[in-house]
Structures are given as C-alpha cells and as structure tokens.
Structure 1
Amino acid sequence: MSHTSIPTKPLTIAALALCVVSLTGCSALSDTLHDEVTGHAETRADLTSAPEWMPSDATDITSVTGTGAEDASAAPKTIVFTSPAGVATDGCDTVPRKSAPVMTVPGAPDVYAADTVVRCGDWSLAATGHRWVAWTPNTGDGAS
C-alpha cells in the first residue's frame, strides 16, 4: 500500500508570500474563512451609506458584517468609530445593556463595561471616551 503525501511547506510559503505582497488579499481571505466582510473608511463622508445615528464628525470607521445569514438585512454587524461630538440621540433611548456585538472589531470599546447603551432602533451603541462601538442585533437591550 503506497501513501502519497502533498508537500505543505511550499504551499505555506507561497500563501505567506501572497499575503506579504497584498495585505488586502489576506484580509479578504481571512474574511472569507470567517464568514465576514470587513470595511474601513476614514470619514463618514467616505461611506456610500451611513446609519442615521452616525455623527457627521465620525472618523476611523471600521465595520464587520457577518455573511452567514440567509437574509442580508438580518446579518450581524459591528461598527467602530471615533467621534468627539458623539452620537445624536434624537429618536434614541438610553437603556440597560443586555446584548453585545456578535462581530468583533479590534480596538472596540469594551461593551461589557457598559451598564447602559444608547439604543437607536435595531442598533445599540456604547463609548469609551470618543471611541464608539455600535452593533446589531441588539436583542434584549432596553428590557427590564
């Protein structure tokens, strides 16, 4: 009985070389493997569409959206951004926090340190200083 093996070391080296050449490609590969899509914008003005609650001075905006949902509108999403002005709370309420983001964004504020969140419809938001994290779904936020 013969055993054929595929040499993995050359494949690993080739994959690493591709990552070094194109960090964006590695990000896309990582996104595909983790059923998520990551995006980044320098300012709110750079976004094709932004949630109504996002302040006009928002910068360094990173979003992660899950791709495993059958309906794209039901996909979990987390957005992290910086805003000295903060979130406009028109149409929003401050409520007890019961949920947390499903999608992880490096550098996001620790939502578990927040007792309350700003709930704007299907989104919950929390901040540490000028750095904000927003997520959906936010099941339970506002429930007693």
Structure 2
Amino acid sequence: MHSLITKVLALGAVTAGALGLSGCAQFSDAAHGEARSHADGRADVRDAPSWLPADATDISTVVGTKSSDPATAPKSMLFTTEDGVTADRCEQVPRMSAPSLTFDEAPDPYAAQEVTKCGAWSMTSRGTRWLAWTPNTEDGK
C-alpha cells in the first residue's frame, strides 16, 4: 500500500512539473511579446505563405504578439529547402529591412546586400537554410 501511495504522489509531482513547464513557456512568450512554433514540413504550417517551397522542412516561426492587428504583426520564419525560394512573384532586390524577430541559428540578414522579396516578405539564405521576415519596409527601393 505504501508503494502505491508513493507511486501516485510521484506521478502527481511529475504531472505538476510538466504542466508548470508548459505554463512557463506560455508566460515567457507573453512576457517577451512573441509566440514561437515549429513544424516538420510545409504541410504542417497553418496559413503557409504561397512562396514557402513544397520541400521546406524544419520550419520555425516567431510572431510578435504586441501588435493591435495580428495581420500586421512582425513575423519571421526559419526553414530548410533544397529547392530554394522560386515563386513567380519573387524578385531579387537591395536589402533595406531586417527582421525584428529572429533566431540564434539564422542566416545573418545584415550580411546580405540583396534579398529575395516575395510581396510583404523578404528573405536571405546561408546554404539551404533560409530566414524570412515581414514587414520588409523599404526593401527594393
């Protein structure tokens, strides 16, 4: 009987700890004004931009949460693609903007003289790893 009570208490402690960790992550997101998510592939990204390649994998997204209009909130996306970004509406333009939200392992946007601009998004790459961001005010001017 004593063993059963110990197991129940241990399971309760583990569950409370796990719930506490997920609560910490949510608090951290709110405190920093951003929400982060990850997807294995393009099919797993809700409302994926049309320019995101079909072969995109290891997709991390960060969205600013302090904007009064979610449609204009800053966003950044980090992904891997062997095919590259080849959407018809994309063009190479001089880089003037940089992401306000980024990732430690992302390509350095400040090292890019030009970026691939696809509508409201700009992006740069290092090998097969791409960093995309919006807004991209002034890119291409």
Query: Is TM (by shorter chain) over 0.5?
Result: yes
Q: Is the 8 A contact 1:124 1:138 kept in 2?
A: yes
Alignment of 1:1-144 (within 5 A): 21=18, 23-143=21-141
Give me the identity figure in percent: 50
3-state SS of paired residue (2:71): helix
Q: Alpha-carbon deviations, 1:59-87, whole Å to 9, x = none? A: 01000000111111110000000001111
3-state SS of paired residue (1:38): strand
Distance change >3 Å, CA 132–CA 24, structure 1 → 2: farther
3-state SS of paired residue (1:125): strand
How much does 1:48 deviate?
2.1
Q: Alpha-carbon deviations, 1:77-120, whole Å to 9, x = none? A: 00000001111131111000000001122311111111000000
Q: Alpha-carbon deviations, 1:21-79, whole Å to 9, x = none? A: 35544332211110111110011111122000000010010000001111111100000
Question: For residue 112 of structure 1, what is the amino acid of its counterpart?
Answer: Y
Structure 1 residues not aligned, in runs of 5+: 1-16
For 2:87 and 2:72, how far apart are their aligned partners in 1? Answer: 24
Structure 1's consecutive aligned runs of 4 or more residues displaced over 6 angstroms after TM superposition are: none
Q: TM-score, normalised by structure 1?
A: 0.82
For 2:126 and 2:38, how far apart are their aligned partners in 1? Answer: 20
Structure 2 residues not aligned, in runs of 5+: 1-13
Q: Is the 8 A contact 1:89 1:118 kept in 2?
A: no
For 2:25 and 2:46, how far apart are their aligned partners in 1? Answer: 21
Question: For residue 18 of structure 2, what is the amino acid of its counterpart?
Answer: V
How much does 1:134 deviate?
0.4
3-state SS of paired residue (2:106): coil
Distance change >3 Å, CA 116–CA 49, structure 1 → 2: same
Larger mean CA deviation between 74-83 and 39-48 belongs to: 39-48
Question: For residue 33 of structure 1, what is the amino acid of its counterpart?
Answer: A
